[in-house]
């Protein structure tokens, strides 16, 4: 399985290795240094903005109680529902030199003032940061919610100030979650081609797409891909190393969730205002634009008649991809977190390559590999499914691995010592505990797949246009009012899914079904077991109730 | 996985069954041309012949790469692109099928067809200068190469290097003027355009109309498209390189070919479609929809287009565009255009 997933990488390596040295030299002198600088600085810029936005918003939402705080909890997730290319076209419209923003700014700053151009480094950072900060926000928020306040209280009791506690206790403890969020955001930025091509900002992925659509041979595209994959490989390796070094389990049974502090009216107004600003920038304004354009299109009777078909195509492709990603990802994630053999690690690392391989190259590689090995798949939806799977499996893996890591291995060992077979222990102990994490992985893949563009553009069978493809075809003709209805539909379909994801991530303490209560028990018991194991005391069997029920 | 999560996926899979398997009897058309300029002609063809067609719209080069990778198993019966160079490249790769039908010789002149008719030009598109009538003096623009002169520094907008139109235009200039003059021209254009490098022709025309720049390089119909929406826009088309020793205007053609691996039961339908597109009714729908020049001499140009009867066109055969393109890309990249 993992080998199949690594085929695209193999294709890129072989294609780049067999490329003429002259091509390499030309690329090195004309393109690579600039692209390297642009890609790295864009990723870094977006990461910094994401970190500031994500952590501060998560802190405000989890630690303060004010009128409206409950709504922001989920409103701040909605930007994930807007595809990057839609956000980019909205901002090219908003920041247009004859646009409303420019007129307003001229009233303030004089007739010669101009708003900054979206076609710049700052523009690309703005759009991609507004698009990706929810990754960091979500993971930081759920980490803050699961946070054991005892840590902070201990620090306060020993004399640390509020700021010192935040920077020296709270932040370091949620570091794995922040890294996971930044990891998703950075890979998203590195593999995005919709927004950067609309904003004319040259990154590797954009350049690869230009090479592929501008040339008949893919040698140069493969070379650029290889450099990108190399950089991403270093990044992925570094992230996993970091994660291995800083693995936290809850170490006490006396877990208490944080209690939000109530705010006065002035503070509440300030916080609401700040949150509203971020929300409008990332979701409200583009959403209103989409609605306006859609109304224009409907009024003019220009909505495509195949609209419902496109919707079903998008839904079915995303549903199948997400399911396949979770099913295929389960053994890989398990191997990577539990069985630390080199083969298991290699499998998991290999699967990550699909995400950093630029979408168009991943698609082309799948096409070539399939035509040699599985010609029967040609012209079917399966080939597209495979490309989406290769491209998005890492998203699922990331979430599933985090979930598995939070279940201490002692739980499974305890189950085994009580006579459960490996499969049994996985099904009855591990699975109930990681179900939320796995569901959120499914949802995340679903959402990403709804927005997926390059593979669908290159591999869809004739007559299988998805919503994203329709948006791209219309938007590349700059017919925004025609692109708006499918874009609005993607947003509308994705919103509940995003909210569901937030529920799945919110953790066991927030829901009250019987099974979740069991899982919460197990979590606390597992933490006990871990602590007990560390001090050499005999471990208790986890969730005794569940085990008593079965013979 | 919980049933709650799997169920919607399986449901979606079932529902997908119908649209996923595209109707086997329909003709499959791979099209590099915008759907709204292809679909009207296909609808008319269906009304006339009863043959329906499924269109797959994508970038021309990507479609040819895909046809190449799919080989004999391709679903495509017909290929339409906006660039004769792409069609010729498809022919060289063995992706198209030679054919002929009575009346073809008179319908489309030989210089707009492949020698073996494996592709046939349908509509002509000129790569021209659009200028702002308040900011530029058309008298100073005798040749397209003038845009590389220092006088235009900071005053022009150009397409990105990925643009097929730019590649075709530069290929023609190279074929006529040689590499040295072309490189000099591109260096000048790169300097003069600065950051006014656009992915879309429409953005170039809009920049000229706003007065951000005085002139730009675009396909002719974008000028007419802009004027149709903004009749008062201060822009005009400049026909350059005329006169005795002029290079002539740069003309490319959108065209059609039947794939080498067309399904046997679809061959007759594919030929009927090509014949329909070259006949007057098809020509009107295909070319006029986008204000392009119909290549069938019996069909007049759309109203408002300057007639081409007495206009000098650069003497570079369309079927040379394929071979010219890769070295052209190298020149473009060496100069450092994006």
| Cβ atoms B117, B98 nearer than 8 A | yes
Provide mean pLDDT across the span B44-61: 92
CB contact under 8 A, A439 and B56: no
Contacting residues of B for A435, CB less than 8 Å apart:
2
Who's near B26: CB < 8 A, 6+ residues apart?
A463, B51, B52, B53, B54
| Cβ atoms B130, B238 nearer than 8 A | yes
Contacting residues of B for A439, CB less than 8 Å apart:
1-2, 5
Query: What is the DSSP pairing of strand B215-219 with strand B27-31?
Result: unpaired
User: Residue B230 above 80 pLDDT?
Assistant: yes
Q: With bands split at pLDDT 50, 70 and 90, how would you rate the model's confidence at B204?
A: very high
Q: With bands split at pLDDT 50, 70 and 90, how would you rate the model's confidence at B134?
A: very high
CB contact under 8 A, A371 and B15: no
Q: With bands split at pLDDT 50, 70 and 90, how would you rate the model's confidence at B182?
A: very high
CB contact under 8 A, A381 and B20: yes
Contacting residues of B for A217, CB less than 8 Å apart:
326
Distance from CA of A167 to the nearest CA of B (A): 38
Contacting residues of B for A98, CB less than 8 Å apart:
210
**Residue whose entry in the numeric block shows the structure tokens 């979650």:** A177
CB contact under 8 A, B64 and A216: yes
CB contact under 8 A, B56 and A463: yes
Put simply, the chain B residues between 154 and 213 with a CB less than 8 A from any chain A CB are 160-162, 164, 167, 195, 197-200, 202-203, 210
Put simply, the chain B residues between 15 and 54 with a CB less than 8 A from any chain A CB are 15-16, 19-23, 26, 28-30, 34-36, 54
- Residue B3: the pLDDT is 42
From A70-84, A339-353, B128-142, B280-294, the region with the lowest mean pLDDT: A339-353
φ, ψ of residue B292 to 5 degrees: the values are -100, 170
Distance from CA of B243 to the nearest CA of A (A): 33
Helices (H) and strands (E) in chain A, counts: 28, 2
Q: What is the ipTM of this complex?
A: 0.76
- Residue A163: the pLDDT is 81
| Cβ atoms B153, B297 nearer than 8 A | no
* Paired tokens of A548: 């008593």
Map out the domains of chain B with their CATH numbers. Answer: 3-124+252-305 (3.40.190.10), 125-250+322-335 (3.40.190.10)
How many residues appear in chain B? 338
CB atoms within 10 A of CB B178: 10
Taking the Cβ of residue B331 and every Cβ of chain A, the question of whether any pair is shorter than 8 Å is answered with no
Put simply, the chain B residues between 235 and 264 with a CB less than 8 A from any chain A CB are none
CB contact under 8 A, B199 and A197: yes
Tell me the C-alpha distance between A403 and A394, whole Å. Answer: 14
Contacting residues of B for A329, CB less than 8 Å apart:
none
CB contact under 8 A, B20 and A215: no
- Residue A519: the pLDDT is 35
From A527-531, B38-42, B79-83, B183-187, the region with the lowest mean pLDDT: A527-531
DSSP, collapsed to helix, strand or coil, labels residue A267 as: helix
CB contact under 8 A, B69 and A364: yes
Contacting residues of B for A316, CB less than 8 Å apart:
12-13, 15-16, 20
CB contact under 8 A, A464 and B329: no
Count Cβ atoms within 10 A of the Cβ of residue B56 and give its class: 0-12 exposed, 13-18 middle, 19 or more buried. Answer: buried
* Paired tokens of A145: 């919610």
- Residue A3: the pLDDT is 66
pTM: 0.77
Longest dimension (CA), chain B: 78
- Tell me the average confidence (pLDDT) per consecutive run of 10 residues in chain A, 551 residues long: 69 81 80 88 94 92 83 85 88 75 73 72 92 89 80 82 82 83 85 82 83 72 83 79 66 66 85 92 92 90 81 93 91 75 67 68 75 73 88 82 78 82 80 81 86 83 88 78 89 81 53 34 34 31 33 32
Sign of CA dihedral A31, A36, A41, A47: positive
Contacting residues of A for B198, CB less than 8 Å apart:
200
What is chain B's mean pLDDT, rounded?
A: 88
Q: Please report which helix (H) or strand (E) contains residue A447, including its range.
A: helix A431-451
CB contact under 8 A, A478 and B56: no
CB contact under 8 A, B160 and A477: no
Tens of pLDDT, residue by residue over B248-279, are 999 999 999 999 999 999 999 999 999 999 99
- Residue A411: the pLDDT is 80
- Residue A146: the pLDDT is 76
Gyration radius of chain B over CA positions = 22
Closest chain A residue to B22, measured at CA: A463
Question: Phi/psi class of residue A117: alpha, beta or left (left: φ > 0; alpha: ψ in -120 to 50)?
Answer: beta
Closest chain A residue to B222, measured at CA: A477
- Strand stretches in chain B, DSSP E: 27-31, 53-57, 78-81, 96-97, 120-132, 156-159, 197-198, 215-219, 235-238, 250-259, 293-294
Contacting residues of A for B2, CB less than 8 Å apart:
435, 439
Provide mean pLDDT across the span B3-20: 44
Question: Phi/psi class of residue B291: alpha, beta or left (left: φ > 0; alpha: ψ in -120 to 50)?
Answer: left
CB contact under 8 A, A442 and B202: no
- Residue A534: the pLDDT is 31
């Amino acid at each position: 399985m993992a080998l199949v997933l690594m085929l695209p990488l193999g294709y890129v390596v072989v294609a780049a290795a067999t490329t003429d040295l002259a091509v390499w030299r030309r690329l090195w002198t004309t393109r690579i240094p600039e692209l390297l600088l642009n890609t790295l600085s864009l990723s870094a810029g977006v990461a910094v903005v994401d970190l500031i936005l994500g952590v501060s918003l998560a802190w405000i939402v989890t630690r303060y109680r004010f009128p409206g705080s409950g709504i922001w909890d989920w409103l701040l997730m909605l930007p994930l529902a807007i595809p990057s290319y839609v956000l980019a076209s909205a901002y090219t419209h908003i920041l247009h030199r004859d646009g409303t923003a420019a007129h307003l700014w001229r009233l303030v700053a004089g007739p010669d003032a101009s708003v900054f151009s979206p076609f710049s480094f700052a523009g690309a950072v703005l759009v991609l940061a507004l698009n990706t900060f929810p990754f960091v926000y979500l993971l930081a928020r759920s980490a803050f919610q699961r946070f054991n306040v005892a840590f902070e209280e201990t620090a306060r009791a020993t004399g640390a100030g509020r700021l010192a506690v935040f920077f020296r206790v709270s932040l370091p403890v949620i570091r794995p979650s922040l890294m996971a969020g930044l990891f998703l955001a950075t890979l998203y930025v590195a593999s995005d081609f919709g927004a950067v091509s609309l904003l004319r900002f040259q990154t590797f992925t954009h350049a690869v797409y230009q090479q592929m659509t501008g040339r008949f041979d893919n040698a140069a595209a493969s070379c650029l891909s290889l450099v990108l994959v190399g950089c991403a490989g270093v990044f992925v390796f570094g992230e996993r190393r970091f994660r291995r070094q800083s693995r936290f389990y809850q170490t006490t049974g006396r877990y208490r969730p944080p209690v939000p502090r109530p705010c006065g009216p002035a503070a509440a107004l300030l916080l609401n205002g700040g949150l509203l600003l971020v929300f409008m920038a990332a979701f409200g304004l583009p959403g209103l634009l989409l609605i306006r354009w859609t109304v224009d299109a409907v009024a003019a009777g220009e909505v495509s008649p195949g609209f419902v078909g496109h919707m079903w195509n998008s839904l079915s492709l995303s549903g199948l991809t997400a399911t396949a990603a979770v099913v295929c990802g389960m053994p890989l994630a398990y191997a990577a977190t539990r069985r630390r053999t080199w083969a298991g690690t290699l499998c998991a690392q290999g699967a990550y390559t699909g995400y950093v391989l630029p979408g168009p190259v991943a698609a082309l590689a799948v096409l070539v590999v399939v035509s040699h090995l599985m010609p029967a798949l040609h012209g079917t939806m399966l080939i597209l499914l495979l490309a989406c799977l290769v491209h998005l499996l890492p998203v699922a893996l990331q979430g599933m691995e985090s979930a598995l890591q939070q279940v201490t291995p002692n739980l499974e060992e305890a189950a085994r010592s009580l006579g459960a077979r490996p499969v049994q222990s996985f099904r009855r102990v591990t699975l109930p505990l990681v179900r939320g994490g796995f569901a959120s992985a499914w949802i995340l893949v679903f959402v990403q797949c709804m927005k997926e563009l390059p593979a669908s553009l290159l591999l869809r069978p004739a007559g299988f246009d998805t919503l994203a493809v329709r948006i791209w075809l219309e938007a590349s003709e700059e017919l925004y009012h025609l692109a708006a209805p499918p874009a609005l539909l993607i947003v509308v379909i994705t919103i509940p899914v995003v909210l569901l994801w937030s529920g799945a991530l919110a953790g066991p303490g927030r829901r009250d079904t019987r099974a979740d209560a069991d899982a919460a028990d197990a979590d606390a018991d597992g933490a006990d077991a871990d602590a007990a194991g560390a001090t050499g005391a005999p471990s208790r069997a986890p969730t005794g109730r569940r085990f008593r029920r079965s013979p | 996985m919980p049933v709650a999560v799997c169920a919607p996926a399986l449901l979606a899979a079932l529902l997908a069954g119908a649209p996923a398997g595209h109707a086997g009897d329909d003709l499959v058309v791979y099209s590099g041309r915008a759907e709204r300029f292809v679909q009207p002609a296909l609808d008319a063809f269906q009304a006339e012949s009863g043959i329906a067609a499924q269109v797959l719209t994508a970038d021309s080069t990507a479609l040819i790469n895909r046809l190449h990778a799919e080989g004999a198993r391709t679903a495509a019966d017909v290929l339409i692109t906006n660039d004769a160079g792409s069609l010729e490249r498809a022919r060289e790769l063995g992706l198209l099928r030679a054919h002929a039908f009575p009346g073809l010789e008179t319908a489309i002149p030989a210089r707009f067809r492949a020698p073996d008719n494996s592709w046939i030009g349908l509509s002509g598109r000129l790569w021209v200068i659009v200028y702002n009538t308040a900011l530029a003096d058309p008298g100073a623009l005798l040749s397209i190469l003038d845009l590389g002169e220092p006088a235009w520094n900071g005053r022009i907008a150009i397409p990105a290097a990925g643009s097929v139109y730019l590649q075709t235009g530069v290929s023609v200039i190279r074929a006529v003027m040689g590499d040295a003059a072309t490189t000099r021209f591109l260096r000048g254009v790169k300097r003069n355009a600065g950051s006014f490098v656009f992915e879309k022709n429409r953005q170039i025309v809009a920049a000229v109309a706003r007065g951000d720049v005085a002139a730009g390089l675009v396909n002719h119909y974008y000028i007419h498209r802009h004027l149709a929406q903004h009749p008062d826009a201060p822009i005009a088309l400049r026909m350059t390189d005329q006169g005795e020793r002029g290079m002539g205007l740069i003309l490319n053609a959108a065209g059609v070919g039947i794939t080498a691996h067309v399904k046997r039961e679809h061959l007759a339908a594919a030929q009927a479609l090509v014949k329909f597109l070259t006949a007057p009714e098809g020509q009107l729908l295909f070319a006029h929809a986008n204000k392009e020049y119909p290549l069938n001499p019996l069909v007049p140009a759309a109203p408002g287009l300057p007639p081409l009867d007495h206009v000098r066109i650069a003497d570079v055969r369309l079927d040379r565009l394929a071979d010219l393109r890769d070295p052209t890309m190298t020149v473009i990249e060496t100069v450092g255009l994006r």
